[in-house]
Amino acid sequence: MKKARAFQKPTHLLIAFSLTLVWLLPSCDHTYLRAIDEMDSYTYSPTFAIPLFNSGLSFDELFLLGELDNIELDEDRMIILSYDARIFSMTADRLFSLPNQNQIINISGITPPPSGSITTDPQLFLITFDQNERLHYVLFDEGVFNLSLESPQMEQDGYQVEVSFRILNSDDGSGQQIQGSASLGDPNPGQTNLAGSSISFGDDSPNVFAVEYTLTFSGNGTPNNAPYTLQLTNSLREMEFDYLEGYIDQISFPIGSADIPLSIFNNSFDGSIYFEDPNIEFFIQNTFGLEIDLITDEISAILANDSIRPITGSAFDTPWRVVPPPDSTYQIINRNNTDLFDITLDSPRRLNYEVSGFTNPDGLTPQRNWVSKESDLAIDMRVNLPLYGRIDYFYLKDTIPAALSELPDELEWIELTAITTNEFPFSVELFIELIDENDVVLDTLFNDQPRLLEAGITDPVTGITTTPSESQTQVLVDESIIGALLKTDKMILNALISTHDSDAGSVVKLLDNYRVNVELKARGKGSFTIDFE
Amino acid sequence: MTAKNIRILRKGWIILLVFLGINMASNAQQYHTMYWMQGIPQSTFANPGLQPNPNYFIGFPGISSIYTGVSHSGFAPFDLIKKSSDTTFYIDDRAMLAKLKERNYLAFDLSVDILGFGFRAKKKNYFTFGIRERVTTRLGYSKDLLKLAIEGNDGFASRNETANIDILSMDMSHYREFAVGFSRKWTPKITAGTRVKILQGMSNVQFMRTDIGFFTAPDNFNILLNADLLINKSFPFTLAPLENVADREFTALTQDDYINYLINQQNMGVAFDLGISYNPGNRFTLAASAVDLGFITWKSDVENFAAKGELDFKGLDFDQIFTSEDDDDPFEGVTDSIIDLFDIQETTNAYRTAMSSKLFVSAAYNLTRMHKFAVLGKGEIYQGTLYPSLTVSYNFQPINRFGSTFSWSMIHGNIYNFGFGAHVNIFPLQIYMVVDNFFPAMQPHTVQTFTFHFGVNIAAGFGRKKDLTTPSFRWF
């Protein structure tokens, strides 16, 4: 209570509070306010973790085959890479044509009656060819039969003559014989259109048809110089057939040569893929009514170094006989009849062929040839690479442009982690070289990393994956690598591929339903400076 | 946008800002220093059970009580700005994060008394009447929100934690309070009172539900974002549909619009303040009070915006890369999913907002009639979280016509809160000013809370008090 009374004196308390103020006043500190004004920047450094990708990849997506290749499946859904190409197509007009024909017939000993007409005996018209073609029947798609007359004496003696003709064993398309006429003294020949008309030649007299002429006289001529001779000039022009029968002789024609790219090997750098059953199929569609032999002068594989390896084997010992319709012709070359298997080990980039054709290889036979204007010979080739085999060591290398200068330079580091679950029975090791514009290697990503993909485990008997394999790859992209990325002009992707248990010689099958699931996640630290000025 | 439209838009924003500015008052009023300053009639705002010393008072309209306050529960400037030397400073965002609580808020408050008066009746009773314009603004945020923004989500992933953004909120209210208060000295030792307040709401924005979780799986970094949002608003602008609100041309407000806004009687509410003091007959006085126990029901110009959904992002599908054209954005699918997640449902249902209630418990010791020491504990509840504070004060009142208080408070864990208040009566004219924290004037970097309360009353009728709870006799 004594103390309490002491505090009743205000001076004590006032002194106490004054001292408090004295203590507080020196503590004035406005430096922080000035600091806010003077602060230049603030660096913001978050670390984020995000999932980039989580996706299943099919074979097509994994190898970016896209539109280049067809994928076929067998009954087990095994993938067959197919490369299709039409290597030859020939239409009828390129194989056989009807040449123009001329024939002059002189009718002599003509003593014209005052009026009336004279009919001649049938005159033979022979169609000639360079070779041994034999024509038994022709249906014209186009063509003209021309007839012109010449007899100067008769004209001088004042006779007017008109000559009509008809082709025996012919049909103008309406059931009538082909016929026409011409007049003496007419500078233009008489023309008869043959389109739609047909002529049947005798079985024993191919290439020959008969024409009957009728001469009709008129006018007031006097037979001062009788008997007269009348010259009939006949010609067949611009003939195109719609259909013909006969024998077109033995014609040799080139099928040509071309390259067929095999894109799966495009980026192969080293190593081999053992395809158990590579094969090339030929689908030959012949709508000519005759047999044709295909003679393979050469089918070869072009390797990465542009060297050529001819494909040889019993498949090429004899020409391939192409039969007439309705049958079609199919040929296959594989490891049984060629050395194709060995050649695929060299990862050929493309195939090249040189083939020629030869009609009526057995010469003249009782069986007539026939050709229509729609007839053609088409040869399609398909290279099949069934993905059934083994890869001991296959090195793919590809260069891709990569201008990464716009990569945010605020990144301090990125840690990429890929977790894969792989059903494909092959493993993949990957490393990426960063190349600048002067082709200098700046840095390498994924170097000394475990396999990006671990091969799925396969059944040794069927070669089919029974257990998918999981693997995890982690790479730290630090400041130095980011610096390299900023200068990168292109990247070289290097991939080493091998199939499961290839050391033991196991073969595997790639099925269409295999997937590799990739989870790609990233941690990254940024350093963003906010400038206050 | 035409110049006219810009003017119209600007007017709209001005009224909104006025609304926000006025709002800097009310619910978060602090009263740490004023609680025991019974020479000031407005001290009853904190405890209607403590009767003021003047037997009657009349507040000057518009200036009898002007209060403004800012409070941030999260961190003070010096938690963010650090010294590396006497002249070199840097921003230490990690230190700031370490200072944050799990839930934080930033409050701006303002209140202005339009009318106020009170008087003592028959010695034991005290009546008060008042009309106050009150505005409150709260921005709530979680520690995880800033942590996510500053540190990134990697830490959450490694700790297998969900970043909870569930108290991200913005609550603003502008309302008018019609209050009638009554207190009575029920026994020689006990005084208790209440204040009944009819509330007239004018505008409000309420983040009623903001449950947002952001989870990053530690093994594969898959991101799970779930959201359950409900935001209500009641003010005279139509926001729906939200997708084109930014391009909307708002119509110009007329004078009638302003008047209708101020006299709007559709959003009514009620609130109570309760208080009690107990003096056992010695030098101690105990007091307790609860204020702002109530609610407002908002009915005019109401719009509700609700969204609920979940997004599980596991990474892009390679198909999105392989099949997209050069111009396509492979992330379009992700952004579409986020937009779909926030497929906002718009309704116009009335809703209710609770007042942000405060609890006060205090003990005062009267050393003499002039000198009083007090301890005050305060708790404020916001979004289900109690925010406590502690104040120690010394009240010096040598005469009835002058009184002063010095205080120290620990608010939001910040100990740099030194308050001061004083009132002077020049005949019946009373002028008072109270600040809960003047320390920012000396060390502004320490500030987390600052209030300023000023007013002018006509207050008279001192001198009959003999009890120790109201020392008001003499200089010495």
Check residue A483 and give its pLDDT.
85
Chain B nearest CA to A529, separation (Å): 12
Nearest to A356 by CA among A91, A84, A90: A90
**A66: region left, alpha or beta (phi > 0 left; psi from -120 to 50 alpha):** left
Distance of CA B330 to the CA centre of its chain: 45
pLDDT in tens, A30-53: 777 777 777 777 888 899 998 888
d(CA B10, CA B250): 10
Residue A330, Cβ neighbours under 10 Å: how many? 10
Cα separation, B2 vs B212, in Å, equals: 38
CB contact under 8 A, A522 and B222: no
> What is this structure's pTM?
0.68
How far A507 CA sits from the closest chain B CA (Å)?
A: 29
Predicted local distance difference test score (pLDDT) of residue B309: 86
B281: left (phi over 0), alpha (psi -120 to 50) or beta: left
Helices (H), A8-128: 10-24, 31-38, 59-62, 92-95
Is the CB of B368 less than 8 angstroms away from the CB of A8? yes
For each of chain B's 476 residues, which pLDDT tens digit applies? 444 444 444 344 333 333 333 333 334 466 788 898 989 999 999 999 999 989 999 999 999 999 999 989 888 888 888 877 767 788 888 899 999 988 888 989 999 999 999 999 988 999 999 999 999 998 989 999 999 999 999 999 999 999 988 778 888 999 999 999 999 999 989 999 999 999 999 999 999 888 889 999 998 899 998 889 999 999 988 888 877 777 777 777 788 888 999 999 999 999 999 999 999 878 899 999 999 999 999 999 999 999 888 888 888 876 665 555 555 555 666 666 666 666 788 999 999 998 888 899 999 998 888 889 999 999 987 777 788 899 999 998 888 888 999 999 998 888 888 899 999 998 889 999 999 888 877 778 888 888 999 999 999 887 544 444 444 433 33
Place of tokens 């502008």: B174
pLDDT of residue B13: 37
Q: Which residues of B touch A61 (CB under 8 A)?
A: 318-319, 322
Residue of B nearest to A50 (CA): B221
Nearest residue, CB atoms, A13 vs list B89, B93, B396:
B396
Question: From CA A510, how far away is CA A388, in angstroms rounded?
Answer: 6
For residues A217 and A161, the answer to whether their CB atoms sit within 8 Å is yes
Q: How long a stretch of residues is chain B? A: 476
Task: Mention every residue, 6+ apart, whose C-beta is less than 8 A from residue B247.
Answer: none
Kindly list the residues of chain A whose beta carbon comes within 8 Å of any beta carbon in chain B: 4, 7-10, 13, 17, 20, 24-25, 27-33, 35-36, 38-39, 42, 44, 46-57, 61, 419, 518-523, 525
- List Cβ neighbours of A505 (8 Å cut-off, separation of 6 or more): A390
CB contact under 8 A, A8 and B370: yes
- How much of chain A, in percent, has pLDDT values that exceed 90? 35
The answer, yes or no, to whether residue A115 has pLDDT greater than 60, is yes
pLDDT higher than threshold 60 for residue A519: yes
Q: Answer whether B358's CB lies under 8 Å from B292's CB.
A: yes
The Cα angle at residue B436 between residues B435 and B439, in degrees rounded to 5 = 90
Do the Cβ atoms of A49 and B476 come within 8 Å?
Answer: no
Phi then psi for residue B80, to 5 deg, are -100, -40
Q: Mean of the pLDDT values across residues A398-417? A: 80
pLDDT in tens, A286-320: 999 999 999 888 889 998 888 999 999 998 888 99
- C-beta atoms of B444 and A33 within 8 A: yes
Write the CB contacts of B60 (distance below 8 Å, at least 6 apart in sequence).
B455, B456, B457, B458
Q: Of the candidates A17, A48, A55, which has its C-beta nearest B317's C-beta?
A: A55
